[in-house]
Amino acid sequence: MVKSRLALRGSDDEAKIDELLRVDAERRKAETALQALNAERKKLSKEIGAMRMKGEDSLQQENRVRRIGDEITRLNEDVNLFDAQQREMLLEIPNLPHLKVPIGKDSSANPVVRSWGAKPKLDAPLDHVTIGANLKLFDLERATKLSGSGFICFTGVGARLERSLIHFMLDLHTREHGYEEMSPPFLVRRDCMIGTSQLPKFEADMYGLENNQLFLAPTAEVPVTNFHREEILRADELPKKYVAYTPCFRREAGSAGRETRGILRVHQFDKVELVKITTPESSYEEHEGLTADAEKVLQLFGLHYRVIELCAGDLGFGSTKTYDVEVWSPGQNAYLEVSSSSNFGDFQARRMNLRYKDAKGVSRFCHTLNASGVALPRLLAALIENGQQKDGSVRLPEKLLPYFGDSQIR
């Protein structure tokens, strides 16, 4: 079953499973031999004690005990080696796609689940790079001077717009959607990155410190989901719903040539993240609500978007089911992903030992979910492209007025 589900991802995980089972068999064989030797040594030790009390010669038995001790030392090393190998191999195996996930090899097989709103009618729309330069919303050249390529420096009203969007989304999700706000550390330990499955597979995309024992958070998903790691929660505490703003840091080592123009794919960006911790029975219903909470941001801003479901071949490493929310970008004449809403089942919970006690008092693994609620700066890019006017100004959504203080950028 595991092999058949993983085969839908289109990878070579079947071979990994075979190798994992081989290592597991070797570990079990070594452990069985170790148990037998320990039992024999215990028996011989009793015999030696009895022989000494009788004044009998126990040299032969003592020599055998020493040889057994040497063999136990060697077998312990083997067991530890096999155990370490097995743990490393398990961390490299992705989650199983949900039984109802669409079948397909890549993004071309992702079905559109729904769409909302209509594309604006614009004649020869400018892209966000041109609009941003004209209105001095950000300075990419000086950002490169400061930090290298792939970074943004928002300036003037651009910086105010970014801050306004963050505050708007935090207020929306806490006041209307019932999430508890959190302001987590921006540095996270290695075991937390393993817990949410960024490591070890995607280590090349991460910014590591202290010999890669500490990392700049690639997303608030890492500190927020790990907040209850190694805990046993009560069933009546679930679902837990958290929202957090953090900057996100990613090398994007495997993304060369993808969306490199402007502010669409960068090494540091801001994001408001939604995290849920639920029971297995409610997680897929909670997933639908989580996705709707992310969509609400775009609806309130009047932005046309679509929701697609990722097929098995396009799923993220740790996800069992994912929806992508994509906003329309007139300047790119394309859709931009601003939220990826994923259910991880118990995949992350097992890695971080996150459990709850059910009604019968049995400890079970939680299900974890997260979604961008939503990600900047793509939201900002879509806003200014959709709101551009013929006179060069940008009209902003009415809902943003209390936060930004103006209805237009001129």
- Look at residue 65 and tell me if it is in a domain: yes
Average pLDDT (68-77) is 93
pLDDT tens digit sequence for 92-151: 999 999 999 999 999 999 999 999 999 999 999 999 999 999 999 999 999 999 999 999
Same domain assignment for residues 115 and 61: no
Q: Which of 197, 340, 342, 372 is catalytic?
A: 340
Among candidate residues 58, 91, 124, the one where a domain is terminated: 91
Average pLDDT (30-39) is 94
> Angle at the Cα of 252 (from 248 to 258), degrees rounded to 5?
115
Same domain assignment for residues 126 and 269: yes
In the three-class reduction of DSSP (H, G, I as helix; E, B as strand; rest coil), residue 96 is classed as coil
Query: What is the model's pLDDT at position 148?
Result: 96
Give the Cα separation of 48 and 186 in Å (integer). 61
Query: Which range of residues forms the domain containing residue 40?
Result: 2-91
Average pLDDT (183-193) is 98
Could you confirm whether 395 is annotated as catalytic?
no
Q: What is the DSSP letter of 57?
A: -
Cα dihedral 396, 158, 243, 204 sign: positive
pTM: predicted TM-score of the whole model, two decimal places: 0.92
Q: Which of 337, 350, 393, 395 is catalytic?
A: 337
Could you confirm whether 378 is annotated as catalytic?
yes
pLDDT tens digit sequence for 161-176: 999 999 999 999 999 9
Among candidate residues 28, 60, 91, the one where a domain is terminated: 91
Q: Which of 27, 250, 351, 355 is catalytic?
A: 250
One-letter-per-residue 3-state SS of 244-307: EEEEEECCCCCCCCCCCCCCCCCCEEEEEEEEEEECCCCHHHHHHHHHHHHHHHHHHCCCCEEE
pLDDT band at 200 (very low <50, low <70, confident <90, very high): very high
Which residues, including other chains, have CB under 8 Å from residue 198's CB and lie 6 or more apart? Answer: 205, 206, 215, 218, 222
**Is residue 116 a contact partner of residue 328, using CB atoms and an 8 Å limit?**
no
Give the rounded distance of the alpha carbon of 49 from its chain centre: 58
Same domain assignment for residues 37 and 163: no
Does the structure show a pLDDT above 90 at 13?
no
Q: Mean pLDDT lowest for which of 53-57, 183-187, 379-383, 398-402? A: 53-57
Same domain assignment for residues 301 and 228: yes
Q: What is the DSSP letter of 310?
A: P
- Look at residue 248 and tell me if it is in a domain: yes
Could you confirm whether 337 is annotated as catalytic?
yes
Average pLDDT (300-313) is 98
Does the structure show a pLDDT above 60 at 277?
yes
Same domain assignment for residues 64 and 204: no
Q: Are strands 232-234 and 355-357 parallel, antiparallel or unpaired?
A: parallel
- Look at residue 102 and tell me if it is in a domain: no
Average pLDDT (77-105) is 95
Q: Which of 162, 295, 378, 385 is catalytic?
A: 378
> For a pLDDT cut of 70, what percent of the chain falls above it?
98
Query: What is the model's pLDDT at position 380?
Result: 98
Does the structure show a pLDDT above 70 at 257?
no
Could you confirm whether 410 is annotated as catalytic?
no
Among candidate residues 65, 91, 117, the one where a domain is terminated: 91
Could you confirm whether 250 is annotated as catalytic?
yes
The CATH number of the domain holding residue 369 is: 3.30.930.10
Same domain assignment for residues 151 and 82: no
Give the Cα separation of 344 and 362 in Å (integer). 21
pLDDT band at 328 (very low <50, low <70, confident <90, very high): very high
Same domain assignment for residues 50 and 146: no
The total of other beta-carbon atoms located within 10 Å of residue 48's CB is 18
The CATH number of the domain holding residue 82 is: 1.10.287.40
> Angle at the Cα of 132 (from 128 to 137), degrees rounded to 5?
135
Structural domains counted in the chain: 2
Q: Which of 241, 114, 106 is nearest to 173 (CA)?
A: 241
**Is residue 263 a contact partner of residue 369, using CB atoms and an 8 Å limit?**
no
Same domain assignment for residues 48 and 151: no
Same domain assignment for residues 174 and 219: yes
- Look at residue 98 and tell me if it is in a domain: no
Same domain assignment for residues 54 and 119: no
- Look at residue 101 and tell me if it is in a domain: no
- Look at residue 152 and tell me if it is in a domain: yes
Same domain assignment for residues 133 and 55: no
- Look at residue 100 and tell me if it is in a domain: no
Cα distances (angstroms) measured from residue 320 to each of 148, 317, 348: 36, 9, 11
pLDDT band at 204 (very low <50, low <70, confident <90, very high): very high
- Look at residue 205 and tell me if it is in a domain: yes
Q: Which of 64, 189, 265, 350 is catalytic?
A: 265
Same domain assignment for residues 252 and 365: yes
Average pLDDT (281-291) is 98
Stronger pLDDT, 295 or 12, i.e. the higher one? 295
Q: Which of 152, 157, 151, 153 is nearest to 135 (CA)?
A: 157
Give the Cα separation of 272 and 268 in Å (integer). 14
Which helix H or strand E contains 326, and what residues bound it?
strand 321-329
